Structure 1
Amino acid sequence: MSVRSLRPALRGPRQVAALLVTGLLLTGCAGTTDTADNVGSAPGGTASAAGDSDSSEGSAEGAVPEEPAVEPKEIEGLGPETRSRIPQTAGQAVVVRGADADSDRSVVMVYERDPVTGWRRTSGEWPAHNAREGWTDDHVEGDLRSPIGVFDLTDAGGKLPDPGSKLPYDRGRAFEAEGTGFEGESLEGTFDYVIAINYNRVPGTTPLDWTRPLGQEKGGGIWLHVDHGGPTQGCVALPRPRMRELLRTLDPAKRPVVVMGDAASLTL
């Protein structure tokens, strides 16, 4: 038995119209990728470029501000004139701060310099003696005052074996101290360890070299040495353990210096 379609077949103009409507519907679905909302989704599209612009503006607004530059720290207690005398090449400084211009008592502190953060103290405050009459900025032979200033530290030595010095160390029997000090204390062992202060001397030589570039009248032989319990003639004297520590700490590669004087002078 034949089955007849219940839907009547289209004929003539009605058939054409239906085909046109169907074609328009199909064209609309296929073209959704070209609508305004999607233009530029492929590389080079204008909508994508606008989106990139918005993103960059958001990034600029949310950028983290740069931190301010760190101001390098200075050695406390030093004034601008004293600081200006410290060479830029110096990476270590032994600061000897006298109690006052006429005192034979001092404290010694060691500092190291970081190229970014500046100076930091690496030791405690070590008690010390300086010259009996205190300090002077015009030292002469026999004035019993220690010279004020900034001086290089390049050479060491002593009567005892090298304790591990990084500075060139000259050991010899000539490092001998005899007799008594100003307060009757024994001077024995005073020169067991010494570090030459480059005041009126030739750097790169043993501390026992008595050459005086400024002349004999300007004195010399100014050392850091072992404390004998009383004032000195011009040197700075530290307890024996501190001298050993200093010898092991000072590094010629860091161009060490000593900054020395009474507290008031150092603030200039």
Structure 2
Amino acid sequence: MKNSGNTIFITGGTSGIGRGIAEAFHRLGNQVIISGRRKALLDEVTQANPGMHGIELDIQDPQQIKAVAAQLVKNFPKLNVLFNNAGIMPFDDAAGEIDDHVAVATVTTNLLGPVRMTSALLPHLKQQKDAVIIHNSSVLAFVPLAGTAVYSATKAAMHSYSLSQRFMLAGTGVRVVEIAPPWVDTDLVFKSGDSRAMPLSDFIAATMRGLESGTDEVYVEQIQALRDNPGSDEHTFVNAFNQSLKENPIPTGH
């Protein structure tokens, strides 16, 4: 995709990857609009980046999604890029009882949120030049982390959805791009400085290069083996991956 001259809406843009990507695009001269649930955080980010706009949005609320989509089309008629970034990553126990409220919130935020947001904006995006939909999935779409079973499942679903949507939109002028981050040192789980986590600045730089390259999937070289995992012997790979993390757990801040 082109790296400047866009009008870009980013969900979950007040922290972590969302904020990093928003600020990177902002520095390149794009019109950037971010959303989040907390006005104070929106104000903090937009004040630090003059010219950036913020819109309050609870991505779990389908009526808010429709209202925000209508507001965006009215106030930013040149909107041509949607970045579905908002997500939550609660730990769970697939071998025991999973809190239903947390499970529903995870599915609603990580899967239904992007589906609804995309659906609401697609009629407008189809009328734009250089229109792009970016879905933020995860390396866990390909190799699930057993301790975040529901989260991993939602990201696998987003990968599948991206593949289907890309096929269905072929010839419409709307591109579908999937970003599959590795473990990035953000507060999605716990910003710990763990050496296994990719520094946010490094990830943003690599991702911006990937987006500019025009590839349909953007992921860093370090996760190539995990991206290539799906196959008839994936159980062995997944078990080994999870065993290694069981022996050296991801810090959660608790």
More strand by share: 1
Superposition TM-score, scaled by structure 2 size: 0.22
Larger Rg: 1 or 2?
A: 1
More helix by share: 2
